[in-house]
């Protein structure tokens, strides 16, 4: 049973990654062609060296050519699926409900050179496409996301900007810019921990806001806690009676995790780790399912965010490492029972394995959930592609006819994936912990 589950988990994980990768490639290929003239993408199209670019652009702005062309998105004609999909799966400082209606979320911004800025996103005066009409202390809201103007010459305080959009420089690179008094001011890229490898970088500010994802996580926390608290009370109140209602719904799932995941992998010590396994399972499952709801307050792609899955994988990594017994570490650093020259090869492999295990946990969950969101967004996008952005009603009809069965099918699959990925993460976490606490067998 245990082996079958592991193989199953592995296959699912791998297939998820392959789907995600192939999707990345196909989007990649189609993306560039339309990108420059559309100019409808999220900000931070900066070159990698944020600091170096910073000075240079500051200089350009000071020269003041007297003209800044902002393609603010007003002039957009077509519909671009990939950018819409990417925007929907990404994080934001506002929650888009419908049309031009946005729920503003609290922004908590910290810049070492300026200090804290705590305000609601509505303070940016949210306009078309979730872009703010105001710049506050050099922060601007672009497509629902807070960015900072790189130029230190840009005035602080609340400033009404002329436009927010893209500018194409001499090398043909597109940058997000803010037009103010005829000058173009470049925006910093988003602060990320990828050191600019994926287009982010270390910036002059940190965005610690309650973003769409954080808001959804808090919502999930409250919902799940309320639900499980009522289950726990039901057990207390109706002691010794048959489970009923939500208690009856949850009990088989809890027992499944306990009997099919915790007990087989962790043996007698399972009860010590069961709360963690249940927490991680229901946290992932809850957020996966909330993300499947296509409208507010659902739809956020939380478990498809690499930062989130990274933290969940890190929790697992630390639990595994801290519970590892002598036997476990011995098998990693100096495998007993093999010749010395094999040990020299084996040790680096085993040491790498410590990190590869949580790394795969992180990627598997991220890739599966993100891929699902992108595919659904793409199918929904068919309506607008066929409809030529609302110009062709019959086209939209064809799009709807094609899109509804596909989206329905994909949503059903995603419902399954929501359960499977939560289960696989829990199962693998249990197997890693189990390997770390396993007592040596005496041969």
Partner 1 sequence: MIQTLFLADFTVIRPEPGMIIWTTIIFGIFWFIMSRFAFKPISNALKERETDIQSSLDEAKKAREEMANLKSENEALLALAQEERSKILKDAKAAKETIINEAKDKAKEEAKKIVTSAKAEIENQKMAAMIDLKNQVGNIALDIAEKVIARELKSQPEHEQYVNQLVKDLN
Among 5, 9, 44, 380, contact with partner 1 (rule: CB under 8 A):
44
Tell me: does residue 274 bind partner 1 (CB under 8 A). yes
> Could you give the residue ranges of the DSSP H alpha helices within 238-339?
246-256, 263-266, 270-292, 306-323, 326-333
CB of 391 to partner 1, least distance (A): 25
Tell me: does residue 78 bind partner 1 (CB under 8 A). no
CB of 197 to partner 1, least distance (A): 9
Tell me: does residue 204 bind partner 1 (CB under 8 A). no
Among 6, 12, 208, 335, contact with partner 1 (rule: CB under 8 A):
208
Tell me: does residue 305 bind partner 1 (CB under 8 A). yes
Tell me: does residue 209 bind partner 1 (CB under 8 A). yes
Cβ distance to partner 1 smaller for residue 63 or 236: 236
Return left, alpha or beta for 12; rule: phi > 0 is left, psi -120 to 50 is alpha, else beta.
Answer: alpha
CB of 335 to partner 1, least distance (A): 33
Q: Distance (Å, rounded) from C-alpha 145 to C-alpha 88?
A: 12
Tell me: does residue 322 bind partner 1 (CB under 8 A). no
Q: In sequence order, what DSSP letters do the residues of 12-79 get, joined into one string?
A: HHHHHHHHHHHHHHHHHHHHHHHHHHH--S-S----S-HHHHHHHHHHHHHH--S----B-STT--S-
DSSP-assigned letter for residue 268 = G
Among 12, 17, 19, 27, contact with partner 1 (rule: CB under 8 A):
27
Residues near partner 1 (CB under 8 A), total: 80
Asked if residues 139 and 191 have their Cβ atoms less than 8 Å apart, the reply is: no
Cβ distance to partner 1 smaller for residue 283 or 328: 283
Among 174, 187, 428, 436, contact with partner 1 (rule: CB under 8 A):
174
CB of 414 to partner 1, least distance (A): 16
Q: What are phi and psi of 187, to 5 degrees?
A: -100, 150
Cβ distance to partner 1 smaller for residue 134 or 208: 208
Residues 332-391 close enough to bind partner 1 by CB under 8 A: 366, 370
CB of 185 to partner 1, least distance (A): 18
Among 312, 354, 429, 437, contact with partner 1 (rule: CB under 8 A):
312
CB of 337 to partner 1, least distance (A): 37
- In this structure, the dihedral spanned by the alpha carbons of residues 137, 131, 108 and 154, taken in order and rounded to 10 degrees, is -20
CB of 372 to partner 1, least distance (A): 12
Instruction: Candidates 31-39, 114-122, 329-337, 413-421: pick the segment binding partner 1 (CB under 8 A).
Output: 31-39
Asked if residues 314 and 429 have their Cβ atoms less than 8 Å apart, the reply is: no
Cβ distance to partner 1 smaller for residue 48 or 133: 48
CB of 436 to partner 1, least distance (A): 18
Tell me the torsion sign for CA atoms 332, 334, 337, 340.
positive
Asked if residues 174 and 168 have their Cβ atoms less than 8 Å apart, the reply is: yes
What tokens does 138 get?
């050099």
Tell me: does residue 218 bind partner 1 (CB under 8 A). yes
> Could you give the residue ranges of the DSSP H alpha helices within 324-392?
326-333, 340-386
Return left, alpha or beta for 140; rule: phi > 0 is left, psi -120 to 50 is alpha, else beta.
Answer: beta
Q: What are phi and psi of 238, to 5 degrees?
A: -110, 55
Residues 227-256 close enough to bind partner 1 by CB under 8 A: 228-229, 231-232, 235-236, 239-240, 251, 254-255
Asked if residues 93 and 107 have their Cβ atoms less than 8 Å apart, the reply is: yes
Where is 436: in which H helix or E strand?
Answer: helix 393-437
């Amino acid at each position: 049973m245990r082996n079958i589950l592991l193989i199953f988990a592995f296959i699912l994980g791998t297939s998820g990654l392959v789907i995600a990768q192939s999707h990345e490639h196909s989007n990649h290929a189609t993306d560039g062609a339309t990108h420059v003239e559309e100019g409808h993408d999220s900000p931070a199209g900066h070159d990698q060296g944020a600091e170096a670019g910073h000075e240079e652009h500051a200089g350009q702005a000071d020269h003041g050519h007297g003209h800044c062309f902002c393609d603010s998105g007003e002039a957009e004609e077509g519909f671009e699926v990939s950018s819409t999909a990417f925007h929907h799966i990404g994080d934001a400082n506002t929650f888009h409900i419908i049309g031009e209606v946005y729920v503003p979320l609290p922004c908590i911004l910290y810049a070492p050179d300026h200090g804290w800025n705590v305000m609601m996103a509505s303070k940016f005066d949210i306009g078309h496409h979730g872009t703010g009409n105001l710049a506050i202390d050099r922060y601007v809201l672009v497509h629902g996301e807070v960015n900072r103007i790189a130029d230190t010459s840009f005035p602080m305080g609340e400033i009404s900007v002329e436009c927010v959009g893209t500018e194409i420089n001499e090398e043909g690179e597109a940058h997000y810019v803010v037009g103010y008094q005829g000058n173009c001011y470049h925006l910093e890229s988003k602060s990320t921990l990828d050191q600019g490898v994926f287009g982010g970088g270390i910036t002059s500010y940190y965005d610690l806001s309650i973003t769409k994802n954080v808001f959804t996580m808090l919502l999930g926390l409250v919902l799940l806690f309320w639900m499980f608290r009522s289950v726990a009370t039901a057990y207390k109140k109706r002691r010794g009676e048959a489970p009923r209602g939500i208690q009856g719904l949850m009990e088989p799932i809890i027992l499944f995790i306990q009997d099919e995941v915790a007990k087989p992998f962790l043996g007698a010590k399972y009860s010590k780790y069961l709360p963690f396994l249940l927490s991680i399972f229901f946290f992932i499952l809850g957020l996966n399912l909330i993300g499947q709801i296509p409208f507010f307050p659902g739809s956020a792609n939380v478990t498809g965010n690499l930062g989130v899955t990274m933290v969940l994988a890190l929790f697992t990594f630390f639990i595994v490492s801290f519970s590892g017994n002598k036997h476990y570490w011995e098998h990693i650093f100096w495998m007993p029972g093999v010749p010395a020259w094999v040990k020299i090869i084996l040790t680096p492999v085993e040491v790498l394995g410590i990190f590869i295990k949580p790394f795969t946990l992180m990627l598997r969950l991220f890739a599966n959930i993100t891929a699902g969101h992108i595919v659904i967004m793409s199918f929904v996008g068919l309506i607008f592609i066929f409809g030529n952005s609302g110009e062709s009603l019959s086209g939209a009809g064809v799009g709807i006819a094609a899109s509804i069965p596909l989206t329905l099918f994909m949503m059903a699959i995603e419902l399954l994936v929501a359960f499977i990925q939560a289960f696989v993460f829990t199962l693998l976490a249990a197997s890693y912990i189990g390997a770390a606490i396993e007592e040596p067998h005496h041969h």
